[in-house]
Amino acid sequence: MRLRLCRWILSLGVLAAANALAASSAPFDLVGPTLEVTVSRGETILPIAQAPHLAAGDKLWIKADFPENQSERYLLVVSFLRGPTNPPPKEWFFRCETWKKKKRSCGQEGLSIAVPDGAKQALIFLAPEDGGDFKTLVNAVRGRPGAFVRATQDLNQATLDRSRLERYLTAIRQLNAANPAVLKDTTPLLARSLGIQVDPKCLDRLPQLQAPCLMEGQDTLILNDGHSVSIVEALTSGPASDLLMTASSTREGNNGYYSPYISSLLDLGRLFDSFRIANYQYIPALATAVGTQLTLTLNTPPSFHDPKSVLTAALPAIEKALPPPLHAVSPKDIYCARKDSLVLPVEGAPLVFATEYAHNTFLRVTGKNGEVIELPATADATQGGFVVDTSPLGNASLADRFRGSLHGFWGFEKFEGPAFQLVNTHDQTWAPSSTDDQSLIVGRANTIHLQAGSVACIDRIMVKDPTGKELRVDWSPVKANEVEINLPLQQAQPGALTLLVSQYGSSEPQPLELRAYPEAGRFESFTLHEGESHGMLKGSRLGDVATLSLQGIDFVPTPSSTMIEGDSLRMEVAPAADASASNPDETKPAPKLQQGTAAKAKVILRDGRTYNVNVSVAAPRPSVELVGKSVQASTRTNESNISLASENQLPQDAQLIFSVRAKSPSVFSREANIEIASSDEAFTTTLSLANRGLTLADTRVAIATFDPAKAFGFSAFGPLKFRVVNNGAAGDWQPLVTLVRLPVLQALQCPAEADQSCKLTGSNLFLVKSVAGDPDFKQAVEVPAGFPGRALPVPRPGESGLYIKLRDDPSIVNVAALVAEQPPAPPAEVAPSATPPVAAGEPTAAGAAVSPAAPHNAN
């Protein structure tokens, strides 16, 4: 029994909620009659579209605009209300028989009435003519004044919200028809201006699909607007609304999310459903005001059978004027007064954009001479603010910075809007905001930032590339005094660039000279050891580096420095400007940085660009000085018959003994060792106490013994260097000796005839670069590279002997310790008249004899 009762109660509740929703869900799409309405206050006459409020004493002129062939007669009744608990007097009801077209009839001239003192609401009724129509209507309103007060408020609220919705939908349709691509940028401004809820996912769709998506779900598009609610205050609702809101929380009721517009329509559906008497039923009509015309829109078809339909529309509330709560979207923003079409973004009052209540609006500014200038301003929801016509400024004298404020009329009352900061176009200094913005790199897009006093008046920005071609660039303000510019330099060539900044109201653009560079290298770090005046810069494209500045000290690439593995450059402190020519090694002091200190240095390239690089300071490096050295020649060295002219030359099969003195630290530790390497470090060896290559003479001096043949083999040659290594820290490389390989010169035979060359025999003659009979090598014989023979034609020796340059060290002239011998006499069987044999060399590896080479200069 209880279960049946619960089901019955639930069925009644669902049925009641469904009926209420169905009654209000019909759209207001039936176009009804049109009225002409004006409001007069004193000497000012306004069309009804510009009157958000009425006041006691205002004069209303109302005329019904029915077509000539109107068959049904309508009685026009205007009623004033004074509250839900205080029925209006009968004299507050005014009637007009609209079908009478005679002169001096209200049907011809319209109904003129004054708003009575104490009235709070006003309603318009259009009732089908019936003998007792007027009396019946008066009794209905006087009998239930609260219901009609509530109807007035709901009609006004629904009308205001519908105006916002219609303005939004109309704008979306127009934008979509003109250019769907602009919807993504314009819709947020439109929604902000009108207080509309927009689904952001719609803007992520294809442009062709955005408009249908943005217009879906019109029931939930309108957001609550405090201003329109304050214009039409809603009364508290009773138990009937509780049932309706309970139904609205269901899935079929859109889960409780109702816009103010839909809420008002639901109230109207519930309220007017109760306005049924024997002869009349009251149906709501939304009154859309455009100028003087008030067009009624219905959601219920009117009935001309009993009960006949009375069209009910609301006039603006009779209350104190409430100015629009406009405020600037960004009060700190600065705007250019010289723009042809200046837009001042505002928000907070959607009715300013959806209705004609705000009219005769203007922006008031003051010139330098105190002249007050009023610039016409028009509210534009698609641009998100007031569009100001700046043409009246003309040649007005304006300060560089000044303020302007919005003014206008809200109905009959003046209102003051927000103030804005404005700037006038004037010549400014444009400069990159940072040094990085001067380093434009060709081959890619570049983003730079320019700063000036104000960027509000920028009209466009062009760039002129090195070929003189002008390109328009994309730019956007990021601050009041800074603009971001995107430069497309993918196809540009390095060279001078000119930015041309054009401002509104200025005839000539302002140029800014920049420069585009090729791609620069990377600069990872600069490392130096404590107390040293040189360091290593690590990175790429280091050949472009001119100087490095650290603590006011300039470092320059070492003249003889070479890249180490292509990513390091040795740099040393530049010579002091006052260094004497006699002592060019005078330098500025080394940076006073201690181990572990982190600092920044500035790398300056040859083209003027600068980059910051991290500096790291390592522990002091060990250092030694070379005290002395001696060469212990081997038996094979003596057999070569070559007397080396420099002590810096070390025969490959000899032994080098050299001594070094410790400088930093001042004594040798047991872990110290000496590294010896070729110039390219292809060959290295380590001398230490452990391998007996190093012997301590005392705590400060060590004796090193180096056998190149054992350490490097027979293919090593050229300059050798050494350094000390102590506890993993390596000192600077220092030159040691030049390793040379010696050929074995066995004999020198010279014919008796002075005009004939001599023959030099021996082994490994490919180690000889050139041979001459004089130390100046004026008459020299060049030995071909890779010569495999055992005999060479050479010039006759001079007084001191035969001079030889070795291939491993051609800078030194050495002397061959050989005595010239005459060749043996020819055999007796050879006829004297026979041609004497020509000295020839030994056969080559290919079997061909080597002919004497003609002497030539070989310095």
The string of pLDDT tens digits covering residues 409-462 is 999 999 999 999 999 988 888 888 776 555 688 888 888 888 888 888 888 999
> pLDDT for 366-408, tens place per residue?
988 889 999 999 999 999 999 999 988 888 888 989 999 999 9
Q: Which residue has the higher pLDDT, 449 or 306?
A: 449
Q: Is the per-residue pLDDT at 91 higher than 90?
A: yes
Q: Is the per-residue pLDDT at 828 higher than 80?
A: no
Residue 26 pLDDT grade (very low, low, confident, very high; cuts 50, 70, 90): low
Q: Distance between CA atoms of 504 and 482, rounded to whole angstroms?
A: 17
Q: Distance between CA atoms of 364 and 355, rounded to whole angstroms?
A: 23
The mean pLDDT of 777-785, rounded to a whole number, is 90
Residue 479 pLDDT grade (very low, low, confident, very high; cuts 50, 70, 90): confident
pLDDT, residue 445, reads 85
Q: Is the per-residue pLDDT at 222 higher than 70?
A: no
pLDDT, residue 435, reads 61
> pLDDT for 407-421, tens place per residue?
999 999 999 999 999
pLDDT, residue 21, reads 39
Q: What percent of the chain stands above pLDDT 70? A: 82
Element (H, E) at 461: strand 458-464
Q: Is the per-residue pLDDT at 258 higher than 50?
A: no
Residue 676 pLDDT grade (very low, low, confident, very high; cuts 50, 70, 90): very high
Q: Is the per-residue pLDDT at 22 higher than 70?
A: no
Q: Which residue has the higher pLDDT, 582 or 390?
A: 390
Q: Is the per-residue pLDDT at 139 higher than 50?
A: yes
Q: Distance between CA atoms of 11 and 624, rounded to whole angstroms?
A: 106
Q: Distance between CA atoms of 215 and 213, rounded to whole angstroms?
A: 5
Q: Which residue has the higher pLDDT, 532 or 500?
A: 500
pLDDT, residue 11, reads 40
Query: What six digits make up the tokens of 631?
Result: 């060469």
- Cβ-Cβ contacts under 8 Å for 533 (sequence gap 6 or more): 572, 573, 587, 588, 589, 590
Closest CA relative to residue 429, chosen from 450, 446, 447: 450
Q: Is the per-residue pLDDT at 157 higher than 80?
A: yes
pLDDT, residue 4, reads 46
Q: What is the DSSP string of 667-697?
A: S--TT-EEEEEETTSSSEEEEETTTTSEEES
The mean pLDDT of 350-378, rounded to a whole number, is 93
Closest CA relative to residue 477, chosen from 335, 659, 379, 634: 335
pLDDT, residue 799, reads 79
197: left (phi over 0), alpha (psi -120 to 50) or beta: beta
pLDDT, residue 207, reads 78
Tell me how far CA of residue 697 lies from CA of 37, 491, 655, 658, in angstroms. 121, 68, 19, 12
Q: Which of 78-82, 238-242, 631-635 has the lowest mean pLDDT?
A: 238-242
Strands 545-550 and 553-557: antiparallel
pLDDT, residue 707, reads 93
Closest CA relative to residue 313, chosen from 333, 293, 336: 293
Q: How many residues does the chain have?
A: 859
The mean pLDDT of 781-809, rounded to a whole number, is 90
pLDDT, residue 264, reads 57
Closest CA relative to residue 78, chosen from 35, 21, 14: 35
Judge if the upstream peptide bond of residue 307 is cis by omega within 30 degrees of 0.
yes
pLDDT, residue 62, reads 95
Exposure class string for 191-216: b at 16+ Cβ within 10 A, else e: bbbbbbebeeebbeeeeeebbebbbe
Q: Is the per-residue pLDDT at 746 higher than 50?
A: yes
pLDDT, residue 808, reads 92
Residue 701 pLDDT grade (very low, low, confident, very high; cuts 50, 70, 90): very high
pLDDT, residue 63, reads 92
The mean pLDDT of 218-234, rounded to a whole number, is 59
Residue 637 pLDDT grade (very low, low, confident, very high; cuts 50, 70, 90): low
> Mean pLDDT score of the chain, rounded to an integer?
81
Cβ distance 114 to 60 under 8 Å?
yes
CA 557 to chain centre: 36
Residue 268 pLDDT grade (very low, low, confident, very high; cuts 50, 70, 90): low
Residue 115 pLDDT grade (very low, low, confident, very high; cuts 50, 70, 90): very high
Q: Is the per-residue pLDDT at 606 higher than 90?
A: no
pLDDT, residue 562, reads 52
Residue 507 pLDDT grade (very low, low, confident, very high; cuts 50, 70, 90): confident
Q: Which of 36-50, 71-85, 210-224 has the lowest mean pLDDT?
A: 210-224
Q: Is the per-residue pLDDT at 543 higher than 70?
A: yes
pLDDT, residue 314, reads 92
Query: What six digits make up the tokens of 14?
Result: 């669902």
pLDDT, residue 769, reads 93
Q: Is the per-residue pLDDT at 548 higher than 70?
A: yes
Q: Is the per-residue pLDDT at 563 higher than 80?
A: no
Q: Distance between CA atoms of 79 and 136, rounded to whole angstroms?
A: 13
Q: Which residue has the higher pLDDT, 521 or 53?
A: 53
pLDDT, residue 417, reads 93
Residue 640 pLDDT grade (very low, low, confident, very high; cuts 50, 70, 90): confident
Q: What is the DSSP string of 523-544?
A: EEEEEEETT-SEEEEEES-GGG
Residue 228 pLDDT grade (very low, low, confident, very high; cuts 50, 70, 90): low
DSSP three-state, residue 130? coil
pLDDT, residue 369, reads 87
Q: Distance between CA atoms of 502 and 478, rounded to whole angstroms?
A: 18
Q: Which of 254-268, 629-643, 777-791 has the lowest mean pLDDT?
A: 254-268
